[in-house]
Copies of this chain bind each other. A is one copy, B any other.
Amino acid sequence: MRNIKLIVEYDGTSYCGWQKQPNQPTIQETIENAIYKITKEDITLIGSGRTDSGVHALGQVANFYTNTSIPDIKIKDALNSVLPQDISIRESIEVLEDFHSRYSAVGKQYKYVIYNNKTRSPILRNYSYHVSYKLNIDNMERGLKYFIGTHDFCSFMSSGSSIEDTVRSIQEAYLNRQEEIIEIYIKGTGFLYNMVRIIVGTLVDIGTGKIHYSEVPKIIESKDRGKAGHTSPAKGLYLREVFY
């Protein structure tokens, strides 16, 4: 069996997230169906991790085992010819048998887009978080720096997760503002459920003055989800890259 690694971009707007579930459109099942169309094989596609309903990906990674004779780099074009327009395979390459999209991953980078304007934007409505209040970017940047490093991120995890070890490392976190668009980039070894969205929600609360940036270390120490800010919406979030 050959092991094929895919790099996948998708617009998550019309999907109930990555992971397959009955009677719901998902990215995983849509790609599995496309693989069936080109190989006639019923495979299970292993993703680097789930993405929630409405979350986008610029560089999601997935792999599957196949007996197809299609050359690895041709699989990309074959899949793109049968996939819907809101999913695209950016790369397809044969990897060693033991490569596993989830277990082999050593880190991920997310991007989050905020549209900061009094009036909502039709063009960006599914691709950004519309914040109509004035944001203090300097304070948001100061707050963001406190997240870098190894911390127990328990305060930044939505309930419903059964994970016990909530210590994670953020290696890089920065933001760019270009007029009314704020892009936040966060790279880490791993992320808890909704962690990026709660960090961004907290930053927005810092930007509006609801939370002071110097409180971030105390919020982390509290290990209390109630102390952190709101959960920002899924549609502003992009899984940008998975590292191996």
Contact = CB atoms under 8 A, between A and B. Distances in A.
Interface of A: 9-11, 56, 58, 76, 80, 85-90, 119-123, 125, 127
Given A11-B123, A76-B119, A85-B125, 14 more contacts: A9-B119, A9-B121, A9-B122, A11-B122, A56-B123, A58-B123, A80-B119, A80-B120, A85-B122, A86-B122, A88-B122, A89-B119, A90-B119, A123-B127
**Which of A9, A88, A122 has its CB near the most chain B CB atoms (within 10 A)?**
A122
Contacts of A90: 119
A87 B125 CA distance: 10
**Which of A88, A89, A123 has its CB near the most chain B CB atoms (within 10 A)?**
A123
Contacts of A121: 9, 88
B11 A85 contact: no
A123 B85 contact: no
24 contacts: A9-B121, A9-B122, A9-B123, A10-B122, A11-B122, A11-B123, A11-B125, A56-B122, A56-B123, A58-B123, A76-B119, A80-B119, A80-B120, A85-B120, A85-B125, A86-B122, A86-B125, A87-B122, A88-B119, A88-B120, A88-B122, A89-B119, A90-B119, A123-B127
